[in-house]
A and B are shown apart, each in its own frame.
Chain A
Amino acid sequence: MNSENVWRLIYHEFKSGCADYRLYKLICLLLVFFVVSLPETQGQQNTDYTIHANIIYRFTKYIEWPASKKSGPFVIGIVGDSPLYEVMKIFILNKTVGNRPIIVKKFSASSEVFNCQILFISEDESRSLKKIATLTAGNSILLVTESEGLALKGSCINFIIVDERLKLEINKSNIDQRSMSIASELLQLGIAIK
């Protein structure tokens, strides 16, 4: 009998003779239940918008709105059912723009009026961009989007993901047309779209 077989024999002996083995099995069972669901819940959390929220908030430091938009609360509007809404609401707690409070507000894509300084259009409402851009043309609203190619379709700043990192596509002429001005520091960090 080689040592391996002795090992196996001891193991069987242990298994049949030891009361703790039941406990061991029970714990194994618990463990399996515990965990089988784990990878799946992880899979669902693939939309972390914290960085988006942070960057959108930083825009307020690099973009200059005209005097008419400089009174009352600073409104960040969100179009579409994006997780950004919840994330942004938490993010702006204890934060202000200058000394103005910030409000995060949801807008419907079919809305006629977008009373805000920054308007984020989520990916699933991307096709509404054209309509919203025409409707708000000339208004000092910074349109922010998150789908490829939208910087050419009326958006001011477009988030894209390159190499698993967020990048900004900035269309300066769209920002100028809306009577806002953008700091060169921000322009340098983004990808200029003409």
Chain B
Amino acid sequence: MIKYLLHKKIPLAFIIFFITSNVYGLYDTTKQETYDDLSLKDLLNIKIVSVSKKPEWLFDAPLSASVITKDDIRKAGSTSIMEALRLVPGMIAREQNNGNYDIHIRGMDNVPPNAPFDGNATTTLVMIDNRPIYNYLKGGTFWETLPVDLNDIEKIEVVRGPAAALYGPNAVSGVINIITRQPQKEGLYLVANAKQGGNQSFINNASVGYQSNKWNMVASGNYQHRNRTQTSYFEMYRNRWIDHPAFFIGLLGNTLLNINEMYPNPALAMQKYAGNIFLNFVPSEKTRFNLKTGAQHSVVQTVSTENGVTPFTTVLSDSKYVDLRAAIKGITAQVSYNQGTQKTNSGAQNKYYFCTFDANAEYNYIRDNFSLKPGLSYRSAIYDDTKYSGISLKNGYFNSRGIITTLSASLRGEYNSFKDKLRLVAGFSANKFNYPDSTYISYQLAATTPDAPRDAIQPNPALNNIYSGLGITVAVKSTPVIFGGAVINYLLTKKLNGNMSAYYYSNQTYFHVSNVAFHDGIRGIEHINAKLIMNVNLSYEPVKSMIVSCSSKNILNNISREFFKADDVPFMLLAGINYEF
């Protein structure tokens, strides 16, 4: 009974608080602070929101876009990049287990009903400083493999909607660009964050650097450990949760005994660490060189790969990257290389090697209100599991070595008129793929087309879409009709900041491929209930540059699952320290 009431009254109270406080907030901003009493010296010491400069990144197009900054993230108490994306309008982010999220922009990606989990691959392009972090094999992003963490971030920009002509062929449902942070003042630079909370969550990251007149160097590292909220797995065949199973039964009724190999650590949600070095050299105002390099190791249990037994699979990734960017007057060029191995399912034979190479050059010609950007880019991605799978047995993930290459020429034009009030952007790009197939429409062709997996499991979303090409309209119920979030931030006193963020999504129904396999109307279907997640973060600045914080995630304790047969997501408390120098 008490829980009944709690459930009913608390959200209402919060919402009322919310709406009233919002109105108050609006009034508050219209009151002009003129700083008349301050001396000129003090005026020059007030922190100001920087007056926007002409962006040098690509995101100057009149697209539906949003930006969240490092301050927004810190104030909200987000513990990871994935969690921070909930602060961006238009994002669907559902937590599969502690720290692992299923992330989509608006829900416009290829998630057909009755598909295997590989079909969850999103067609959203994720980049770090314009370097694509994209798994061409799956057509999506393994978020845990990002080598950077919150200490490295200046801001995250999100473009919602198709933007392939402007950002390349992988930007089908949108673009997420993570922009790294650079020292702003000369001398020593230090950022350190440590957070600890329930479910053995440890989130630590730090950067040290030095800025001199024309160059700066930053070394950064991050570590995260998070446990699941439960140790049981949902088995699709028997349609139930099993804790410490002796065996599993697969979709075909086959018995699997290699539980320890499949799930070596049932309690673990995520464990990852990574290191980066950033080197920037700016000899003159119009010339700059940025070199970034780093390596990453991660083990997670996520719903990202189909194994025909349970939703979760253990994904093990190791990778390293180099990224060089140069801008000389109007010319920018970027070359990046990423290589590593990934094991997305049980068994050593399911490991594969990958390396991706990206190179592009652009020239920005600006004349009055008109700018023209011709560009050339080359991209190649190799996926190879022949080293790990038994070639004669063909027991690997795809038993082949595949390469995809894309050569593109693009031309972008922008016209500004009336002081940026009218802005027209046109993008044209011609893409030559090494693996063309005229029956695919271009975005599917662009999303994933390694020829390797043809004769094995087919992770191509176009093929996972069992309705593809049949001319049938399918209602996709796996994405919520209504979703969104809100943030209120209060500076309670000069040193105490309160932040409340809310995230809501409406009901949805997920249909898994096992729905087709069993066809009993029960298995492979899950109705995900609407959920309101409220987070409260209090941060206190006892001395300058140091902030201690206490964040409560999901204060309403709406424990319901956010993804098909994944973990419960209950209330969680975290304490943290942030230091910046």
Contacts and interface: CB of A to CB of B under 8 A. Distances in A.
Interface of A: 4, 7-8, 10-11, 14-15, 18, 20, 24-25, 27-40, 43, 45-51, 53-55, 58, 62, 80-81, 90-91, 123-124, 146, 148-149, 161-168, 185-186, 189
Interface in B458-489: 482-487
Given A51-B35, A165-B47, A14 B7 contact: yes
Contact of A4 (B41, B88, B559): B559
Interface string B496-530: 00000010100000000000000000000000011
Main secondary structure of the interface of A (DSSP, over half): helix
Contact of A51 (B22, B48, B87, B530): B48
Contacts of A146: 51
Interface string B25-50: 00001001111101011011111111
Most chain B beta-carbon contacts within 10 A, residue among A20, A31, A50, A163: A31
A107 B196 CA distance: 57
Contacts of B41: 189
B184 interface: yes
B282 to A, nearest CB: 12
Nearest to A29: B482
Interface in B41-86: 41, 43-53, 66-68, 72
B340 interface: no
30 contacts: A7-B3, A10-B4, A24-B8, A28-B482, A28-B530, A28-B532, A31-B15, A33-B484, A35-B484, A35-B502, A36-B486, A39-B87, A45-B29, A45-B49, A47-B52, A48-B49, A51-B48, A54-B35, A55-B43, A81-B419, A123-B51, A148-B285, A161-B50, A162-B184, A163-B185, A164-B49, A164-B184, A165-B45, A166-B44, A189-B44
A165 B35 CA distance: 15
B7 A11 contact: yes
Nearest to B230: A4
A189 B43 CA distance: 11
Most chain A beta-carbon contacts within 10 A, residue among B15, B36, B49, B51: B51
B66 A40 contact: yes
B506 to A, nearest CB: 8
Contacts of A29: 482
Contacts of B89: 36-37, 39-40
Contacts of A25: 530
Interface in B520-575: 529-530, 532, 559-560, 568
A125 B12 CA distance: 51
B286 to A, nearest CB: 11
B482 A46 contact: no
Given A40-B89, A43-B67, A189-B41, A35 B485 contact: yes
Contacts of A48: 48-49
Contact of A166 (B12, B48, B502, B504): B48
Contact of B22 (A18, A28, A34, A148): A34
Contacts of A123: 51, 53
B19 interface: yes
A48 B29 CA distance: 11
A50 B560 contact: no
B47 A10 contact: no
Nearest to B14: A31
Given A123-B51, A161-B48, A161-B51, A31 B419 contact: no
Interface of B: 3-4, 7-8, 11-12, 15, 18-19, 22, 29, 32-36, 38, 40-41, 43-53, 66-68, 72, 87-90, 184-185, 285, 419-420, 482-487, 502, 504, 529-530, 532, 559-560, 568
Contacts, number: 144
Given A31-B486, A91-B34, 11 more contacts: A27-B12, A28-B530, A31-B502, A35-B486, A43-B67, A46-B50, A51-B48, A62-B40, A90-B32, A163-B184, A164-B48
A24 B558 CA distance: 14
Contact of A36 (B22, B184, B484, B560): B484
Contacts of B285: 148-149
A163 B184 CA distance: 6
A164 B47 CA distance: 5
A182 B192 CA distance: 43
B217 to A, nearest CB: 18
Contact of B40 (A39, A43, A186): A186
Contact of A189 (B29, B40, B90): B40
Contact of A54 (B3, B36, B483, B568): B36
Contacts of A37: 89
A34 B19 contact: yes
Given A7-B3, A28-B15, A54 B34 contact: yes
A76 B125 CA distance: 48
Nearest to A146: B51
Contacts of B36: 54
Contacts of B485: 32, 35-36
A158 B43 CA distance: 15
A124 B419 contact: yes
A29 B15 CA distance: 11
Contacts of B33: 50
A36 B19 CA distance: 13
Contacts of A45: 29, 49
B44 A165 contact: yes
A32 B483 contact: yes
A167 B185 CA distance: 13
Contacts of A27: 12, 15
A168 B419 contact: no
Contacts of B32: 50, 90
A4 B35 contact: no
B50 A164 contact: yes
A148 B502 CA distance: 40
A37 B64 CA distance: 12
B18 A31 contact: yes
A165 B485 CA distance: 31
A34 B530 contact: no
B8 A20 contact: yes
